[in-house]
């Protein structure tokens, strides 16, 4: 007959092998807890509906007070999980999820269900119920792991990222209001935040910033620390001097030089809210999100044609380009370096634990150019924050720096979201794509997101760019992106992604793959912007990438088509209508999409703006 005590003994042995009982920082408890916070939460967590709950094991840490592991055991594997997970007293998964639902009111909880009374029969399921979350999610693990690995499983989980990202967005909005109330200009807010985060990377500053007697003394030390961090990144002296000039406003701002309490509070809050996010979720362009938030109502980004790439699209870029540990990535208009950071994440993932490969990636394989002085400073700061050992972000005009880049590096992948054309800047977006391609090695891959007018426009300038592209390079794929992809930017514009192979003339008769990627699953939510509220992006991205890599042709989704410079480079121009789903709503939607399509064509014909 199955015996639950045997299951508990097997779990204890595993925990012992994993070092739980030798670690003096861990607290191992059975049935009930001496921790008053835990005891209070379990007071009404009975599996039978009334009274306290008694999990088999509760593991907490003196160092990480916000995290718990709770384990529930059942002797029979048949009693592992019920169909509806509502038989709390009978099934291991049901019971442990009940306990987690109570404990998650104050903790992040890793809930582990174990069933079986022999080592061979043991069945293990892990779920994660984050603090404040409505429900637990599958942790996608079937093992009991060491405490550090269990904590890492939680902190690196998709659910934790979404929760922390939502918190970051909320904080960025609140911070924007605080800085506005303190009369700090929109264009300086991102610089201030970025500078403070760079300074917090210096242990001496982090330990001592609260001890300075005056605001003037504090801001002088702050700027000095920022500059020293740039020097430590081995930047050339002339670039350090340029960056110092960019952060000079901190020393002259009336609020920052007189209100010491505000500056200390700001630094402290940034360390808590932003530094924690950056440390936990490495290689994510948090600075870019602050930039978008701060300039959302300032119109400065629209005047410059600057539209920062959404994080999930930056991630998609790195996958489309198939970057790896040996890739050399080049972005000739890098903005806040979001695309480079996304590429770095994928490259380091491929490098694994190879520290020499990691060093090479950060020192030699990420190259960017940025023309705008203030955004250049943000890009360099961003790379420094992500541990870039020798920041290769170069200030200047990418068209003038082409020969320098080609003589110094050998880029194999180009990623770019070029400045979008304005009346003040006649340069076409495709000119930036051609510039990027020119610098890449032969057979290098360029992935660029550009206004849809570049693909369907009929102006002589766009036609000339398209002709040059096909004469020298191969147009592999074009994907139509969501119309409201740049909802968070004041310069909203419909776009497409182009994938091009460098220095390989487009063969006569070759067909290009066109994807209709208008729906990425993101929705617009008030005060949050455009987000993956339903958590559908991972599966959507996987579907898109599989279709792209296999050049799949799917009705109303993708097709292969031979095109010339005079043709429209978008899926909509060649997709066959699907009459099977025709109804009033679908017809209205099609008319709206066609109206937008024609407006974009006419706009391209008229001015190219």
Token pair in block for residue 129: 């119920």
Model confidence at 55: pLDDT above 70: yes
Per residue in 526-551, is it b (16+ CB within 10 Å) or e — as a string?
eeebbbbeeeebeebbeebeebbeee
What's the confidence (pLDDT) of residue 488? 65
As a whole number, the mean pLDDT across the chain is: 89
**pLDDT tens track for 418-477:** 988 766 566 789 999 999 999 999 999 999 999 999 999 878 899 999 999 999 999 999
| Cβ-proximal residues to 576 (8 Å cutoff; 6+ apart), any chain | 555, 556
**pLDDT tens track for 172-198:** 888 988 999 999 988 788 899 999 999
Q: Which CATH class is domain 4-155?
A: alpha beta
Model confidence at 164: pLDDT above 60: yes
DSSP H stretches of helix in 81-235: 92-103, 147-155, 158-181, 186-199, 203-208, 215-232
pTM of the model: 0.83
Model confidence at 297: pLDDT above 80: no
Percent of the chain surpassing pLDDT 70: 92
Angstrom distance (rounded) from CA 24 to CA 22: 6
What's the confidence (pLDDT) of residue 49? 75
Name the one residue in this structure whose structure tokens are 């948090």: 286
DSSP 201-243: TSHHHHHHGGG-SSHHHHHHHHHHHHHHHHHHTT--HHHHHHH
Mean pLDDT of 38-54: 88
Model confidence at 82: pLDDT above 60: yes
Mean pLDDT of 105-127: 95
Token pair in block for residue 151: 């904590």
Band of residue 161 on the pLDDT scale cut at 50, 70, 90: confident
Mean pLDDT of 573-596: 73
**pLDDT tens track for 525-581:** 887 778 888 889 999 999 999 999 999 999 999 999 999 999 999 999 999 866 666
Band of residue 248 on the pLDDT scale cut at 50, 70, 90: very high
What's the confidence (pLDDT) of residue 275? 85
What's the confidence (pLDDT) of residue 391? 84
510-to-475, 545, 548, 552, 560 alpha-carbon distances in Å:
9, 21, 16, 16, 9
97, 85 contact by CB (below 8 A):
yes
Angle at 73 between CA 67 and CA 79, to 5 degrees: 125
Band of residue 166 on the pLDDT scale cut at 50, 70, 90: confident
Mean pLDDT of 82-103: 94
What's the confidence (pLDDT) of residue 314? 94
Mean pLDDT of 367-374: 92
Write the CATH number of the domain with boundaries 286-606.
3.40.50.150
Mean pLDDT of 589-607: 64
What's the confidence (pLDDT) of residue 296? 57
**pLDDT tens track for 275-296:** 888 888 888 787 777 777 775 5
What's the confidence (pLDDT) of residue 303? 42
What's the confidence (pLDDT) of residue 304? 45
What's the confidence (pLDDT) of residue 584? 76
Among 57-61, 490-494, 511-515, 599-603, the minimum mean pLDDT is found in 599-603
Mean pLDDT of 220-235: 92
Model confidence at 609: pLDDT above 50: no
Angstrom distance (rounded) from CA 288 to CA 382: 9
What's the confidence (pLDDT) of residue 600? 60
Angstrom distance (rounded) from CA 172 to CA 183: 16
Other beta carbons within 10 Å of 362: 20
190, 290 contact by CB (below 8 A):
yes
Residue 428, phi-psi category: left (phi > 0), alpha (psi -120 to 50), beta (remainder): beta
Helix axes 158-181, 186-199, angle to 10 degrees: 120
128, 111 contact by CB (below 8 A):
yes
Model confidence at 493: pLDDT above 90: no
């Amino acid at each position: 007959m199955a015996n639950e005590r045997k299951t508990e003994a097997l779990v204890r042995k595993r925990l012992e092998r994993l070092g739980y009982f030798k670690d003096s920082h861990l607290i191992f408890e059975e049935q009930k807890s001496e921790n008053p916070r835990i005891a209070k939460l379990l007071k009404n967590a009975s599996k039978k509906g009334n009274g306290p709950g008694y999990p088999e094991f509760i593991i907490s840490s003196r160092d990480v007070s916000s995290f718990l592991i709770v384990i529930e055991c059942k002797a029979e594997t048949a009693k592992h999980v019920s169909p509806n997970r509502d038989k709390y007293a009978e099934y291991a998964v049901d019971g442990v999820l009940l306990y987690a639902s109570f404990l998650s009111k104050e903790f992040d909880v890793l809930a582990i269900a174990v069933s079986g009374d022999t080592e061979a029969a043991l069945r293990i399921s892990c779920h994660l119920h984050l603090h404040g979350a409505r429900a637990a999610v599958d942790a996608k693990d079937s093992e009991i792991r060491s405490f550090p690995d269990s904590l890492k499983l939680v902190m690196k989980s998709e659910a934790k990222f979404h929760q922390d990202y939502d918190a970051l967005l909320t904080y960025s909005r609140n911070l924007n209001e605080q800085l506005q109330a303190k009369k700090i200009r929109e264009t300086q807010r991102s610089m201030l935040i970025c500078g403070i985060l760079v300074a917090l990377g210096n242990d001496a500053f982090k330990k001592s910033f609260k001890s300075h007697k005056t605001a003037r003394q504090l801001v002088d030390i702050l700027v000095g620390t920022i500059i020293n961090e740039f020097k430590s990144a081995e930047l050339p002296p002339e670039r350090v001097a340029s960056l110092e000039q960019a952060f000079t406003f901190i020393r002259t701002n009336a609020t920052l030089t007189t209100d010491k309490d505000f500056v200390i509070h700001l630094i402290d809050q940034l360390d808590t809210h932003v530094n924690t996010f950056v440390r936990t979720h490495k290689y994510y362009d948090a600075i870019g999100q602050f930039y978008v938030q701060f300039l959302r109502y300032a119109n400065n980004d629209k005047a410059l044609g600057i539209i920062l790439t959404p994080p999930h699209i930056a991630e998609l870029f790195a996958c489309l380009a198939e970057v790896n540990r040996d890739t050399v990535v080049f972005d000739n208009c890098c903005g806040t370096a979001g695309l480079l950071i996304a590429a770095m994440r994928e490259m380091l993932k491929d490098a694994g634990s190879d520290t020499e490969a990691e060093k090479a990636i950060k020192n030699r394989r990420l190259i960017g150019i940025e023309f705008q002085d203030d955004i250049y400073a943000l890009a360099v700061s961003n790379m420094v924050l992500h541990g870039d050992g020798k920041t290769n972000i170069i200030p200047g005009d990418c068209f003038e720096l082409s020969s320098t880049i080609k003589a110094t590096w050998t880029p194999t992948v180009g990623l770019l979201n070029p400045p979008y054309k304005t009346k003040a800047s006649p340069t076409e977006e495709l000119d930036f794509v051609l510039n990027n391609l020119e610098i890449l090695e032969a057979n290098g891959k360029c992935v660029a997101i550009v206004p849809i007018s570049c693909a369907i426009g009929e102006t002589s300038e766009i036609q000339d760019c398209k002709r040059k592209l096909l004469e020298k390079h191969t147009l592999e794929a074009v994907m139509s992106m969501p119309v409201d992809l740049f909802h968070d930017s004041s310069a909203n514009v419909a776009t497409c992604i182009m994938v091009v192979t460098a220095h390989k003339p487009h063969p006569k008769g070759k067909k290009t793959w066109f994807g209709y990627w208008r729906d990425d699953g993101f929705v617009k939510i008030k005060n949050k912007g455009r987000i993956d509220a339903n958590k559908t992006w991972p599966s959507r991205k996987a579907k898109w990438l599989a279709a792209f890599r296999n050049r799949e042709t799917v009705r109303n989704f993708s097709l292969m088509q031979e095109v010339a410079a005079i043709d429209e480079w978008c899926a909509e121009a060649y997709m066959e209508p699907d009459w099977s789903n025709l109804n009033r709503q679908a017809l209205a939607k099609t008319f709206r999409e066609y109206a937008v399509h024609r407006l974009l064509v006419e706009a391209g014909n008229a001015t190219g703006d």
